[in-house]
Amino acid sequence: MFESLFKNPLTRRRHQTAPLLEERLRYLSALQQRGYSKRVLQQIAQKLLVVIRELGPDAIRKVDATQLDAASERFMKGRRRLPSRPEPKHPGNYFKPFARNWLHFLGWLREPIPVPEPFAPYLEDFCTWMRDERNLSPQTILTKRYHVGGLLRWHHAQGGKTEDLGLSDVAAFLAERGTGRWARRTIAAMADSLRAFFRFGALRGWWCPSIAEAIEGPVVYRDETLPAGPAWADIGRLIESLDPHDPTDVRDRAMILLLAVYGLRAGEVASMTLDEIKWEARELLVRRSKSAAKHKYPLVAWVAEALWVYLRVRPNCACSELFVTMKAPFKPISRHIVYNEVAHRLTALGVPLRHCGPHSLRHACAARLVSEGLSLKEIGDQLGHRSAAATRIYAKVDLPHLRKVAAFDLGGLS
């Protein structure tokens, strides 16, 4: 292993004679099989020697999180730093990940036993009910779990108990969130989640039904704002800004085209699998995030080309998902990675949007379909809307046609 990693014989000898040789070789071999590059393996091999030095070759076999934190601090205090280099934002990150990953691989890291939160049974029961009885989508359950968990953690931090929750606690929690940077729509969605939780709690006999009915969020008027998306010309600039020789840009080009051409959600792109591209039939299968239904789309030629180019640079890994990370360890990307990539690139282009995430490309797709004269039913089918009401707001986006309607001459009729 070290013969292939290091050319200098003194460097090789240092690694071969250092303590825990077998444990280090086993770990490096496992990383090599997972696709880590030679350069990264060299860096990790060097870091492993630092971990042994800081923790000690004997004590390292029984390390807990507290000892790992202390060793990380010692390392950062004792390291030599050039005066011209700025102090890193998170200095512990230069030591701890290498040590944690290696010790976890060897089974030597004593992880703290997680203490269940006192309100966990309430929250788990609610999530199970949403999944089994209401058949809500995983993303909807995750969102409501986040909202309700926020209230329960806040209440217990105040010294309260779950069974003592009352309307005044809910009101204080929403008011506190409202004074921060939470938007009105977010507070309204949170109030809706809490209302569902207390209705469920009333069914279980935890609280009286009147609490749920009395929870009020801020007023949000239907269709009060226009969905904001970049102009189609900006999407063209976004595609042109991607480097055709950079593997990450090649991957992101395929993702962006799926988002903009088909109006997909970030989660739908992230969960797409290799077998959902039907090359012979020139079709694309999409699993909808909310309804879990599968929609079939024609595979547009330039999207097919972008996908084919990406597959040529896609890492060779066992993942069935279409989009994966471009550096080892190779794993499926999450919808958060999709969000970060799109938001970063739109912001770098200076596109004037309040929200530059992938959902803005979905809005751009809908606006383009409206401008081409498609009906709201056809646009709703393209976007996977289950209700025409969800598509109705895009009628407000086609301002030129609305102006023509407003300027229509009634010929003197009153």
The residues annotated with a catalytic role in the active site are 265, 290, 359, 362, 385, 394
Q: How far apart are CA 278 and CA 276, in angstroms?
A: 6
- What is the helix (H) or strand (E) element at residue 405, kind and residue range? helix 399-406
E strand residue ranges, 108-216: 109-110
Instruction: List Cα–Cα distances, 213 to 88, 122, 184, 194, in angstroms.
Output: 50, 19, 20, 10
User: 90's torsion region: left (phi>0), alpha (psi -120 to 50) or beta?
Assistant: beta
DSSP letter for each residue of 324-381? B-SSSSP-BPPHHHHHHHHHHHHHHHT---S--STHHHHHHHHHHHHHTT--HHHHHH
Phi-psi region of 292 (alpha: psi -120 to 50; beta: other; left: phi over 0): left
Summarize the chain as % helix, strand, coil (round to 5).
Answer: 60, 5, 35
Question: How does 226-248 read in b/e, with b if 16+ C-beta sit within 10 Å?
Answer: ebbbbeeebbeebbeebeeeeee
Cα angle 338-340-341, degrees, rounded to a multiple of 5: 65
